[in-house]
Amino acid sequence: MKLDHMTWYEVDARINQGAAVLLPVGSTEQHGPMGRIGTDTICAEAVALAAASRCGGIVAPPLAYTPAPFNTGFPGTVSVSAEVFQMLANEVIAGLLAQGFRGVFVVNGHGANLEPLRTIKSTLPDNQMMIRSWWESDAVDTLRKQLYGEWEGMHATPSEIAITQSLLGVLPENQAAEPPRKLSAEYVRDHAGDRHGPPDEHRAEFPDGRVGSHSALANPKDGERLLTMAAIVIANEFRSFEQDR
């Protein structure tokens, strides 16, 4: 159930029943030659909505403008500073809690969001906020590795492209038909959490926008599997989060 599709009467009744709320957080940035600009937001919201349909949860409107400075060398990317994002997310989360929701469960779709979100969580009383990236559970991560192995990579991943394909259809592969340069284990370790370089350097190093990810391996059937698996995990975690409040 979407918060923005509800009346205040409905919201009031759910809050009085002890409802928590799901908050999707994504980005607005390039996702390679065949990935949509809104991929991270699309995935986060889709997982949140699919999870909510399983557990009767409420899903707040997504936050789509977040830090992605390394990708601003590509057309379509809109990045805000980590400080601005943290301030906005903090206001939204505080506002939801002030309305009476028992907790805010963030469904994340973008690595650079994590540090600001964790900072917000550290300022709140225990159990008022939970953060889960849709891909981080053992079940979803295992499925990603089974489907794509090392070609999952770090950005414009086949798993996230597959989810968008299952929802919105398949876009032309363009340059993504050819595999990208594989990443070393050291690179993955050192750049986890979207710790990439300045935009000009980043585009020079990854000229088509993919970071070790063979996007063309994606297909809608895989996307359906990944979306379902992520939704099951998030629904179970959200149900426990809401009941424990």
Please write the tens of the pLDDT for every residue from 43-67: 999 999 999 999 999 999 999 999 9
Q: Band the pLDDT of 244: cuts 50, 70, 90.
A: confident
**159-183 as b/e, with b when 16 or more CB fall inside 10 Å?**
bbbbbbbbbeeeeeeebbeeebeeb
Q: Band the pLDDT of 12: cuts 50, 70, 90.
A: very high
**42-56 as b/e, with b when 16 or more CB fall inside 10 Å?**
bbbbbbbbbbbeebe
Q: Which residues pair with 22 in a beta bridge?
A: 59, 105
**HSE toward the beta carbon, residue 151, CA cutoff 13 A:** 16
Residue 197 is predicted with a pLDDT of 84
Residue 187 is predicted with a pLDDT of 85
Q: How many CB atoms lie within 10 A of CB 119?
A: 13
Residue 108 is predicted with a pLDDT of 98
Q: Strand, helix or coil at 9?
A: helix
